Structure 1
Amino acid sequence: MSDQNCCLICGKPKRHLVPGNLVRTALAKLIQANRPEWNDKSFICLDDLNQFRSKYVAQILEVEKGELTSLENDVLKSLADQDLISENTNAEIEASRTFGERLADRIASFGGSWSFLITFGFVMFLWIAFNSLSAFGKPVDPFPFILLNLILSCLASVQAPVIMMSQNRQEAKDRVRAEHDYRVNLKAELEIRQLHSKLDMLLTHQWQRLLEIQQIQTELIQQLAAREDPADRKPDAS
């Protein structure tokens, strides 16, 4: 089999080959840097072309952002493997929570609700009323309600760390969501760049086909114009 039907990179015959003149200039320079024998008349298979596209995108990111992070490397890997990168982060976070973290979240959620305020106010009202009215006998915690102050101080000292633990959990959730959103947005941007590249290649290919058709039509018109029909040719009168 001739070299025209083989990929220049892997050397294997491929069903879908892309001619060198349809590869973007930036990609062609990258391919030529790895394979100096590359030219416009060479062919490359789609698998190798996608690998060079991933390398080209990695170079762009390194130029724009410096050294690539692990998140960006994961995005490039998913882009090369054509994998989905979006996932349900809430389900992953919920599955990794411990019993203490669930309890802290529930306590913090209840402590910041109207139910807690109404219940707390009702209990305080009953406590003050029970220890203020003589009809109930000797009060357990007479004025100035020292026992009530002790209970409130203990409640505040316990509730504050629980709320802080829940806030730390929420910050961890926000970081996971932010990293996930960054990966999704980065991959979407790279996919759009690749889509533009493919559209440019398709337009170039279609334009070349139209030029070939136009050349064929021009040749046919010239042949028809140059052909003289003997039946239409009349002899000169003597």
Structure 2
Amino acid sequence: MQHRTMAELASRWLSRNADALTDSERRVLQSAIDRKAVSFHSGDSDQQGATTGARVADAVARIGGSWGFIISFMVFLVAWTLLNSVVLVSGAFDPYPYIFLNLVLSMLAAIQAPVIMMSQNRQAERDRTAAAHDYEVNLKAEIEIMALHEKLDELRHSQIMAMREDIKHLADHMLQLEQRLAARARPTRSRK
């Protein structure tokens, strides 16, 4: 593949003009020419470049979407209602219909919802990046498979050509043997 140009490979394997290639297709073709891998492990690279706010948003989304948070919040709500309805019957700081609790829940929802949306947006961006990377890896795999097919076809063709030459040599040798046998057989007939 070293001797081929980007334009030739684009035309041959992607059926496109080199000028019409996307950046990722160019990277993949260049990696095929250079015989380098395009795959990599993204792992923790997302968290390393994240701002503090982004990491907090991810933590809030991770905690807020867990069963531990849901169960602990249910316990908090039950404790709040029991405390204000049963324990502090006469001096409850938030008697039924729990207006202060509703205010706290509304404020929590108002803060938590956009923070979770920020985390979802970051996750969507990570997913788009992963999908683009998967496309590049798959494209590179297809190109490598096509290159292997070409090599196998060339190898098969050269083997067939070699076999044709061998068959031709054998046929010539057989013809020579036939001629020798025919030449030997003639004098014996003439002697009789």
TM bracket, shorter-chain basis: 0.7 to 0.9
Quick one: which of 26, 44, 47 aligns to 1:94? 47
Pairs within 5 Å for 1:2-41: none
Extract unaligned runs of 5+ from structure 1.
1-45
Indicate the RMSD between aligned Cα atoms, in angstroms: 2.6
The separation in 2 between residues aligned to 1:126 and 1:78, in whole angstroms, is 61
TM-score between both structures, scaled by the size of structure 1: 0.70
Task: Tell me the residue number matched to 2:32.
Answer: 79
Kept in 1, the 8 Å contact 2:10–2:17? The answer is: no
The separation in 2 between residues aligned to 1:78 and 1:103, in whole angstroms, is 37
Extract unaligned runs of 5+ from structure 2.
none
Task: Tell me the residue number matched to 1:205.
Answer: 158
Query: Aligned pair 1:56/2:8, yes or no?
Result: yes
1:94 partner letter: Q
Query: Aligned pair 1:226/2:179, yes or no?
Result: yes
- 1:134 positional shift: 5.5
Query: Aligned pair 1:192/2:145, yes or no?
Result: yes
Kept in 1, the 8 Å contact 2:2–2:34? The answer is: no
Kept in 2, the 8 Å contact 1:57–1:190? The answer is: no
2:135 partner letter: Y
After TM superposition, where is structure 1 displaced by more than 4 Å over at least 4 residues in a row?
A: 134-137, 232-235
- 1:227 positional shift: 2.5
Quick one: which of 99, 106, 117 aligns to 2:70? 117
1:151 partner letter: V
- 1:136 positional shift: 6.7
Name whichever structure is richer in helix by fraction. Answer: 2
Task: Tell me the residue number matched to 1:35.
Answer: none
SS at 1:76 equivalent: helix
Task: Tell me the residue number matched to 1:25.
Answer: none
Deviations 1:168-226 (A, max 9, x none): 01101110111011101111121222122112111111111011111111121222222
Task: Tell me the residue number matched to 2:136.
Answer: 183
Say which is worse superposed, 207-216 or 57-66, in terms of deviation.
Answer: 57-66
Give the fraction of aligned pairs with identical amino acids, expressed as a percent.
39
TM-score between both structures, scaled by the size of structure 2: 0.85
- 1:70 positional shift: 0.5
